[in-house]
Structure 1
Amino acid sequence: MDTPQNTALTRALTELPGPLPARGVIHIAIRHTDRFTVVGNDLAQHPGLSTTAVGFAVRIQSLPQGTEVGIKALAARFPEGEKLIAAALRELETHGYLQRARTRLPNGRIVTRTVFCNQPTALLRPRAAAAPPQLPPAARPIATPVPMPEPMPQPEPTVEPGAPPEPEPTSEPVPTPNPPTPRAAPPQAATPQDHAPAAPPFVRLVPPPTAPKPPRPPLPRPRELTPELERISTALLSGLRHHAPQFTLSEEHVRELVPGVAAWLERDAHPDAIRHTLTTNAPEPVNYPYQFVKHRLTVLLPPPLPGAHDLTPPPARRNPVTPFQTCDGCERAFRAPNPGHCRDCRDEVAYAQAAA
């Protein structure tokens, strides 16, 4: 059989206006009315992104809000493998189109929140200040002209026979009242937007993926790892799978986590309380139980219990009281650390010695 021909496409080519190019792509643009996504040329023609990354960016942009866009979720939806999807997401993350941040929910679960921006370069531009609102033409005040009063007609003077002619009155300019100027609109109070400084440029709230991450705190260790603490810690970690099957730890991981559990036991934490802290409100599923248990042993370490001397209130501070003394000269009582004369007697003795 012969190769089938697309007659509809051939008919559409004949309806294109103007001469067609001799080589290269020819676009037949049909306007979308539903189920379409606007993609900018900065993404479609990005020189630093691979075709796979651009394709996944368009796929993610076309998905509705709240759709899972993790590596496993995309691999289950599309035919590409997880390694290819992970490489494409890293490219989008490097160029600012994608941001992934781990967030702790109020119930203690840790989820990954993905944010996609179709034009990341626009976020780095300074935001323009809002312009003051303009009044519509119908709301603007219109100055209406005031009609001028017409001059009154002057009577013609009568001339008697034989009388000398009166000199003609010189025409003096009659001051005409100036038309009232339209009242200007009262100045509007300056709004905060008029004097507000320009908005600062966009600041990233999430650090870029290439930023250095702070080192993780080390696993806590007891002052002395006794055989009894090691035995109880090993039994507690090995028995976690009986309470939660997803917390199945290998023998090597149990040996590495024993000092952390021993530090909890050294601080008088009950084994049941440790087991409850490690397995309650865990995410579903727990992909890395060793890392999860290590994180909780490090971050949720309780403080040591206070001793008896820590709960004893400090002794009350007493101010020293100066005792009363009897003056050797006037027998008056006064406060002083040592016996002697009062202030008046000291002044009299000093005056007498100065006069002598």
Structure 2
Amino acid sequence: MAARHPEQFTVVGNHLAQHPEMSLTAIGLATHIQSLPEGTPVGIKALAAKFPEGETRIAAALRELETYGYLARTRERMPSGQIVTRTISYNQPRLNPAFTGTPVPAAPRSETAPEPEEPEPAAPTHSVTPTATTPTATPTAETPTPSAPDRTERTTPTGHLPLLPAPAADSFHHSAAIALLARLRLDDPRLLLSERDIHRLAPAVNAWLERGVDSADVRRTLSASLPVEPLRHPTAFLAHRLTALLPPPLPAAAPRSSDLPNLPNLPDLPRPSRPAPFQTCDGRERAFRSTEPGHCRDCAPRFAAA
């Protein structure tokens, strides 16, 4: 049973309340905005402070309302130099000059539940207070800018992997490489790989094992210090690490004496003589080199003459 509201009510058309393509969040947000008095802030942060939906859902709902002609947002520069966003709400998409689409007709009203008709308000538009933003060309608070991850490792779509390292020959580590990649999901569930991706990455793991890296060290390198944000393309992420962190080959070992060829007998070369030890001069308490104790070269002539 419906009761007529003599005051404090808002007239909402069925073309909005029964819109077949917009989400319930967008329909409810449009109804709320149309019920507000003129000059009320309707920025993303102001709406997120009122409702449990976060800024991301509210921003997506506002974009829906713009798409279907129920909202228009323009940027204006104030005399102070600030750039503000002016939001105008329309209760009819055909009244929005920026809307070029075709308004979606409302669903037919059920004849079994007639509703009292309310008169349409005369005012065609509903404006709200501009939302101030910074005096730069960056997106305003109306459109949240996702923060870029502060990491040097970049991932690419799974279908466009970087040029992966390959083993020098058909390595016998192929089964070990496949087992290593399959067990990465035990370290982190985000590293769950398909069988196709495991076979694409296995040659690069073979190249690591071929260079003398232990399988436990390869697994630790691939799964350690993972980013906090979700891994949308774990295959590309692992391909980047296998390529960028590839260690150099081990240097060749020095040949053993038993591996050297038989060389002809060479004559014994004289060993270099060791320098004479230090002695203390009896005349000046001065150190000098000599095989026998005595005097240094400065004191020797004087004592010899005496």
TM normalised by structure 2 equals 0.33
TM-score (norm 1): 0.29
**Relative contact order, CA 8 A, sep 6+: which one is greater?**
2
